[in-house]
Structure 1
Amino acid sequence: MAAPTSPPPGAAPLGRQDQTMLLFARLMEGGKEDEETVADLGTLTRLLDGDVELSKKGDSSITTIIDADCVDTIACYLDMRQPDIVRAHATLCTSAYLKAAADDGRKKLSEFFFSRVRRGTYDDYIVAFCVASTIFPLVPDLTSELFLREGFLCTLGPLMRRKWKSRKVETACLEMLNAACMHAQCREAVQKYCVDWLEEIVDQDPDSEAAMKAIHSADPDLHQQEGSISMRRHSQHVQNLAAVVLAKLRAVPMQPAGSQSNQDPELRIQPATTSIEDLSRRFTKMLVEDPEHAASSVEGLAYATIQSKVKEGLAQDKESLKRLVKTLETAPPKSPLTYGALSIFVNLTRYQPAEFEEQKRLRQLKAYASAAGKLQPDPLNDDAHVAERCKRVFEAGITPVLVTHSKQGSAASLSLIISIIYALSMTPALRGQLAQQGAVRLLIAAWTALPEKEDKTRRTAAQALARILISTDPALVFRQTPQNSAIRPLASIVAPDPNAETRDLLPTFESLLALTNLASTDDVARAAIARAAWDDIEELLFSSNPRVCTAAMELVCNLVQSAEQAAALFGDGTPRAETRTKVVLALADADAEDVKTRSAAGGALASLTAAVDHPAVVRGIVAHARGAAIVLGLCRDDESEGLRHRGAVVVQNMICHGGEVGERARETLLAAGAVEALTECAKKSRSAEVVQAVVGALEVLLGGE
């Protein structure tokens, strides 16, 4: 392609196709500074990005002038020997080209790959393998088609077993296999054609390695030759990459052809020379002794820790855990190293999903139907083992590092961080320390930063926040963070998840407890909670789940400690306020059975009847057919001193109201047997506060009579 010249000053600007030809001419020249190359690749990417829409409007596509030489030019910038910044921009450019050129682009890239492989030089292998590993995430269907082409994979073994080694060829080849293992069919093919020589690389003779080190000591320049073709052995980095590929194969065992899908997992695993446990020990040793290869060890462990035995072994290795935390601490934000390290901690701390009764029965039926007769949960993944692993991860100092990464990480990394904090918050003993180390601020900021479409992750963050706030003193937690900033996240999970397949009330229950804790602080918090969640809280007073109903009533009890909220919700005399009073009365009734629910409802009635400026609640109790009987039922309770105290206070509050309301209250309570009930209450009680409330009520009743 001849290089077009730039338009002279004052001339009309170049068209899109002319600009494209000029850019390719510059990129083909070579010898440019990296900044110039990056700028040209960026401009070309923008042209290709806009090409799709412009083509739909009738413009001629610039991809029509991009021939095989142009594709070769872009692809060569994906070479591992190029600077990282150049490779990154070339990746974006390749992605834009494949989107714009569609089938023609896929065809040209396929032709480029196989033409390079057929040439068979070290340089061609490096470029071809680098292109394959780079475009795998971009066009997995195309890359897997190239990868699975008959006769390709079987050529890699002889290449890797050559007497004279090229480190770059081997590295590029293994990076391609590493990317391919993300695809199920490709992973099976790697298992079939490559596993033998991968194990040979990992298990090369250490005595021979020592001999080669002696040779290098005598001739330091030997290993520095271009391409390392003088080397008869695989380099340490190549060994590490091979171990990572093997870990991906071992972490997800293949199912032999013809086997049943419900066969016992232990029977499906094929014999292996190098087990996943062996590989994990290699990775942890590498992590501690050779931090330069942290990326390989972390990636390998991210897959190895899918297996429960590996999780358990790593969790008990304090030195390796601390090294992992240190690796995460120094890892660049939004990097593969950060994501890999976070994935390891997610694997270590992940609890098994809670099973409802129907799910348990279904699992049992599957177990009975299994050919092997058993399909039982892994004991190393039960709650007790996971809780212990969480404790060890926490003790390794993970929380401050997570807080730091949450401020700069990607949405994907933030999701992993939330998962780890969520798991750690399952242990009540850790919640106070999590709050001290910044987990509350982390979760509030994450919930606020995540878009609404990330609803599942936001709910996880809110539930972890709720757990921590259940067990901690708000006055200590919110010294630097505004307390009300936690209310919206907590309010978001008061209602059950409408998108969930099964109705899980645990987030609802935990959020109610956390909000109750916040509502115990001041009227500002109470007002904010009522604004954010009152409709959902009120609905949960009717919940068929007794624990949820109790938690909702306890929250209401704390909310009406605010005179403003008591008046707004119960004291305005509207039919809806009267209905709310009837609901609280019903929950205070002896028929409610649950002592905690009755206690919370009695506490709410005590606060509501004390508001002399708003007698609507007293009027509602008196008007209720069983209102007086319910209140006196609290006084007569045989078991709970607290219920008797609440009943006595409610009676005293009701009869101390002035005017017609107080008169009707006295008459109604006397007719319902208030004197006898209060006398009985005094005899059963040992608390001075209860006796004092009873005496005060009797003085008013008897004096009035």
Structure 2
Amino acid sequence: MADSTTTQRVEELVAQARTCIEQRQLQKATQLAKEAASLAPTNQNVQALVQSLSTEESSGSQILTLIKNYVEQGDQTDGQEAVKLLKQHTAIPSDQISDVAHFLFDHDGKPTETRDELTGAFVINSAAARKQLASRIQVGTEATRFFRLLWRRGEHSFNSILPVLLDANAWPNSETQTQAKRDAFLLALGKLLDPALEHGEWSMTLIARLLTSNAHDMAGLIDRDAFEIVLAQLDIRLDTKIRAQATLAVAKLLEETREEGENIFTDYVTNTVSKGHNDELIVAFSAAASVFPLVPQTVAKLFLTPGFLEGLIPVLERNSSGQRKSHRLEQAAMELMSAACVDKACRESLAKIAYNWLDDVAHTSSEAEAASMAALVLAKIPPKPDSEESSVTHADDLSSLLVNLTLNASSPAEQQSSIEGLAYTSLQPKIKGEIVSNTALLNKLIERLKSTTTADPCTFGILTIFSNLVSYRPAQSEEQQKMSQLRNYAESKKQEEKDPLDDDQHVTARCKTVLDANLIPVLVTAARSHYTVTILGIAVKILHALAREQKHRGKLAQQGAVKLLLQTIDRLQTPGGPASASDSAQAAIQLAAHALARILISVNPQHVFSRAMPAISALRPLTLLLTPDTSSETRDLLPVFESLLALTNLASLEDDAVKDALLRQAWQPTEDLLLSTNKLVQRASVELVCNLMASPAGVAKYADGSPAAKHRLHVLLALADAEDLATRRAAGGALAMLTEWDAAAKAVLEHDRGVSILLDMCGDESEEIKHRGLVCILNLVSAPGEVGTMGLQKVAQQDGVETIKSSLRECRNTDVMAIGVEVLKTIMGKNENSGRAITQG
């Protein structure tokens, strides 16, 4: 029989081999299996492992035969079976890789879907296959031949080029790999010049990925011609996939070329516009709109060139009069205008020169998409400077238009523009009220949110609208209000009047409407799938605002808000997650933790948490709020206070694991906050400590005899004598539980003022404090052995019996009276047993 050490080793080998099989490392798995078999040949797990490897190797050996039959005989069934095995990551024996590569790369048969899938799966799933392809495309004109071969085969085949180019292990040296990248870059650029090109996104994706992976490899190739080829792919008439990849490529090109690249871009747009034809204008406006967010100052300078906008509007007006000649020109121009609104001077110029045309398109266009885009631009700019129309009337009219466009939108483009426009107008309190009272609109937005994806721009717009609806005004301390007044006075500015429609009462009412519209379940699903800091941040902001009102918290918990907040925090903190170290991610984590704290203050933790989502999972984010932000000049104590309340609620659970975890994670900041100058924060921290005294680990913090424990007890006794009633009550409760333990009782007795403070509690005006003080004294005098004797002596020295009798004379609470009588009986009984009598009062 194998000893335990051997058995354990065999189990480790089997587990490692299984992992290698899953990762398709069959050679390593075989070696591990052989070692395991040598140690325990009859072990059932070892035998099963060997059988699995045998099956894997058998399947891998079949692939060569299947592909050979498909290539040479056209057997579709064998071809599909080979595809299936490759997609299951079945490993091909190393001695057969070159034969498979020969059939797939060196036989240029008729392009078929099966051949395309075979080629792609073979290359992507096998490092040896990538090496085979690399060896074929690194020699002279072979790069061109294989580029064209894989293009003809189809998308799977062509996309397999990129992993080969980026796999350093596939190449004999870095110089050869770099040259292959450069060849592919030029070939992809050349493909984009083909006027009859189909699937341009394949080439554009390859170019973008080569640039973003290491643009330095393309040094010398990034010239004016290359730049202009890529800029042309931003044309709004092209597929959105091409435009998306082109935007990535342009961003990288501008990053690498800096001033030179900006000059090339400026010349490209200027020269293209100067040609004056609709096609050229569409290309120029498309490029400028896409590049505006990347280099806003450069494009704004172009946009504000004297005569540019003044000359453009008449062209657009002629195009729009009667039957529109070019909807694409209209669209491209408005996309540029919308992008230009990031710049204040551009907004003012648009309001002065383009307002009438935009207003006409928004109200009269038979094209819903054009009307939506025009309304969006109008939402971003101020009213026409010389117009008699007030800003309020402008916003009301625009909002009504956008609401109708949103309700009646039939295409994604229409929805995107109208929703984005609503997001802008929903910043105004009056418009917020109109939106929230429109049940049909709220339902439309929520239904639309259900169908959005990560890349859908409508997601951001819809969530922004809801965030605007539920956001409260930022709270200001008295000091901040005074500073704001002084700043306005210094700048000769009139104090801005606050709109009553945006006060807390109105916001809370809007929050209730949004909550009743069942946004949260949809938000839970949407935010879970939209793995970006921006989307998660807006979702968290909405939840934080909704959780402010105590009455809303129960419903939030029922609809899954707690789970969503915990998942969001976890994702944002995960290394390699969506910008986990960024300031925006950290801000979202803080806000999510605060929203979580608010909910957990007001709900029963037993109804929220379960085995699948334990209460311990909430401790770390709540503890984050207790730690000061060193980067901030001032500290907002509201999140600290509410986190302490939530942790106190969790500490009330009859689960020692929660208390022990809380002591490990939150004790240090909680202990620091016991000395806070803020009365509410200090009170909340004492209440948390009180709940933690139900744990032996919590008691040990005060009773292990260490200098730190003595200092902690000194602080707790001082808090039991605090001016604030609630603080005294919580400290008294903690002492009442502490003194149940002999070591803690002894520590109190050894403190200079320990018994004196407890007797002061017995004489407190509050019957709750009185009750706690009496319990503490009872614990001291009832303790066994030397501790109890010391307790009797200390109480006698402080004239404790008279103090207790005096406090009971004024007591009306029967429970307190009962404890007091028990204390006196205990003292009297122990004193009689020791041969002493006490004087009757």
The interval holding the TM-score normalised by the smaller chain is 0.7 to 0.9
> Quick one: which of 634, 637, 650 aligns to 1:518?
650
The amino acid of 2:726's aligned partner reads K
Aligned to 1:566: 699
- CA 1:255–1:238: 2 relative to 1, 3 Å: closer
Query: What is the rounded CA distance, in whole Å, between the counterparts of 1:343 and 1:426 in structure 2?
Result: 18
Aligned to 2:609: 478
Query: What is the rounded CA distance, in whole Å, between the counterparts of 2:211 and 2:525 in structure 1?
Result: 37
The amino acid of 2:745's aligned partner reads V
- CA 1:575–1:17: 2 relative to 1, 3 Å: closer
Q: Work out which structure has the larger RCO, using CA pairs closer than 8 Å and 6 or more positions apart in sequence.
A: 1
Aligned to 2:760: 633
- CA 1:273–1:301: 2 relative to 1, 3 Å: closer
Query: What is the rounded CA distance, in whole Å, between the counterparts of 2:613 and 2:672 in structure 1?
Result: 30
The amino acid of 1:694's aligned partner reads G
Aligned to 1:419: 541
Query: What is the rounded CA distance, in whole Å, between the counterparts of 2:388 and 2:780 in structure 1?
Result: 74
- Tell me the CA shift for residue 132 of structure 1: 1.2
The amino acid of 1:134's aligned partner reads S
C-alpha offsets along residues 290-322 of structure 1, whole Å, 9 cap, x if unaligned? 353321221101111112221122122222222
Q: Could you tell me which runs of 5 or more consecutive residues in structure 1 were left unpaired when the two chains were aligned.
A: 205-232, 257-267
Q: Contact (CA 8 Å) 1:49, 1:100: kept in 2 or not? A: no
Query: What is the rounded CA distance, in whole Å, between the counterparts of 2:596 and 2:212 in structure 1?
Result: 42
| Greater Rg over alpha carbons, structure | 2
Query: What is the rounded CA distance, in whole Å, between the counterparts of 1:104 and 1:61 in structure 2?
Result: 13
- CA 1:144–1:534: 2 relative to 1, 3 Å: same
Higher mean Cα deviation, 691-700 or 369-378?
369-378
- Tell me the CA shift for residue 153 of structure 1: 0.9
So what's the TM-score if we normalise by structure 2? 0.73
C-alpha offsets along residues 253-287 of structure 1, whole Å, 9 cap, x if unaligned? 7999xxxxxxxxxxx99856960111111111222
Q: How does 1:303-702 map to 2 (within 5 A)?
A: 303-366=424-487, 373-409=494-530, 410-450=532-572, 451-453=580-582, 454-479=585-610, 480-521=612-653, 522-567=655-700, 569-589=701-721, 592-612=722-742, 615=743, 617-638=744-765, 640-702=766-828
- CA 1:155–1:174: 2 relative to 1, 3 Å: same
The amino acid of 2:724's aligned partner reads D
Q: Contact (CA 8 Å) 2:351, 2:385: kept in 1 or not? A: no
Q: Contact (CA 8 Å) 1:4, 1:25: kept in 2 or not? A: no
Aligned to 1:262: none
Q: Are residues 1:277 and 2:433 paired?
A: no
Higher mean Cα deviation, 556-565 or 360-369?
360-369
Q: Contact (CA 8 Å) 2:452, 2:526: kept in 1 or not? A: no
- CA 1:20–1:524: 2 relative to 1, 3 Å: closer
C-alpha offsets along residues 369-405 of structure 1, whole Å, 9 cap, x if unaligned? 6767542322222212211111111111111111111
- CA 1:118–1:457: 2 relative to 1, 3 Å: same
- Tell me the CA shift for residue 684 of structure 1: 3.2
> Quick one: which of 301, 321, 327 aligns to 2:422?
301
Query: What is the rounded CA distance, in whole Å, between the counterparts of 1:668 and 1:562 in structure 2?
Result: 27
Query: What is the rounded CA distance, in whole Å, between the counterparts of 2:260 and 2:581 in structure 1?
Result: 38
- CA 1:18–1:373: 2 relative to 1, 3 Å: closer
Indicate the SS of the match to 1:484. helix
C-alpha offsets along residues 586-619 of structure 1, whole Å, 9 cap, x if unaligned? 1112xx121111111111111111013xx2x322
- Tell me the CA shift for residue 439 of structure 1: 0.5
> Quick one: which of 211, 220, 229 aligns to 1:73?
229
Q: Contact (CA 8 Å) 1:367, 1:376: kept in 2 or not? A: no
Q: Are residues 1:46 and 2:209 paired?
A: yes
Q: Are residues 1:192 and 2:192 paired?
A: no
Aligned to 2:245: 89
- CA 1:67–1:587: 2 relative to 1, 3 Å: closer
> Quick one: which of 7, 17, 20 aligns to 2:185?
20
- Tell me the CA shift for residue 680 of structure 1: 2.9
The amino acid of 1:578's aligned partner reads K
Q: Are residues 1:132 and 2:288 paired?
A: yes
C-alpha offsets along residues 313-348 of structure 1, whole Å, 9 cap, x if unaligned? 212222222222222222222421000111111111
Q: Contact (CA 8 Å) 2:553, 2:599: kept in 1 or not? A: yes
- CA 1:572–1:629: 2 relative to 1, 3 Å: same
Indicate the SS of the match to 2:501. helix
Q: Are residues 1:175 and 2:335 paired?
A: yes
- CA 1:132–1:372: 2 relative to 1, 3 Å: closer
- Tell me the CA shift for residue 102 of structure 1: 2.9
- Tell me the CA shift for residue 79 of structure 1: 1.5
The amino acid of 1:244's aligned partner reads L
Indicate the SS of the match to 2:529. coil
Q: Contact (CA 8 Å) 1:582, 1:620: kept in 2 or not? A: no
- CA 1:289–1:26: 2 relative to 1, 3 Å: closer
Query: What is the rounded CA distance, in whole Å, between the counterparts of 1:77 and 1:512 in structure 2?
Result: 55
Indicate the SS of the match to 2:234. coil
C-alpha offsets along residues 414-467 of structure 1, whole Å, 9 cap, x if unaligned? 000000000000010000110010100111111121124422221111111000
Query: What is the rounded CA distance, in whole Å, between the counterparts of 2:247 and 2:236 in structure 1?
Result: 12
- Tell me the CA shift for residue 655 of structure 1: 0.7
C-alpha offsets along residues 119-171 of structure 1, whole Å, 9 cap, x if unaligned? 22221121111111111122222222221222211122111211352111101
Indicate the SS of the match to 1:692. helix
Query: What is the rounded CA distance, in whole Å, between the counterparts of 2:371 and 2:648 in structure 1?
Result: 56
Q: Are residues 1:156 and 2:332 paired?
A: no
Indicate the SS of the match to 1:625. coil
The amino acid of 1:106's aligned partner reads E
Query: What is the rounded CA distance, in whole Å, between the counterparts of 2:678 and 2:214 in structure 1?
Result: 58
Query: What is the rounded CA distance, in whole Å, between the counterparts of 1:315 and 1:403 in structure 2?
Result: 20
The amino acid of 2:198's aligned partner reads E
Q: Contact (CA 8 Å) 2:227, 2:253: kept in 1 or not? A: no
Aligned to 2:405: 286
Q: Contact (CA 8 Å) 1:167, 1:234: kept in 2 or not? A: no
Q: Contact (CA 8 Å) 1:41, 1:89: kept in 2 or not? A: yes
The amino acid of 1:547's aligned partner reads L
The amino acid of 1:278's aligned partner reads D
Query: What is the rounded CA distance, in whole Å, between the counterparts of 1:254 and 1:376 in structure 2?
Result: 24
Give the RMSD, CA atoms, in angstroms: 2.6
- CA 1:248–1:555: 2 relative to 1, 3 Å: same
Q: Contact (CA 8 Å) 2:368, 2:409: kept in 1 or not? A: no
- CA 1:50–1:610: 2 relative to 1, 3 Å: closer
Query: What is the rounded CA distance, in whole Å, between the counterparts of 2:141 and 2:290 in structure 1?
Result: 31
Q: Contact (CA 8 Å) 1:538, 1:552: kept in 2 or not? A: yes
The amino acid of 1:540's aligned partner reads L
- Tell me the CA shift for residue 562 of structure 1: 1.0
Higher mean Cα deviation, 14-23 or 486-495?
14-23
Q: Contact (CA 8 Å) 2:266, 2:302: kept in 1 or not? A: yes
Equivalent pairs, count: 646
- CA 1:141–1:270: 2 relative to 1, 3 Å: farther
Q: Could you tell me which runs of 5 or more consecutive residues in structure 2 were left unpaired when the two chains were aligned.
A: 1-139, 147-170, 573-579, 832-841
Q: Contact (CA 8 Å) 1:51, 1:61: kept in 2 or not? A: no
Query: What is the rounded CA distance, in whole Å, between the counterparts of 1:345 and 1:439 in structure 2?
Result: 16
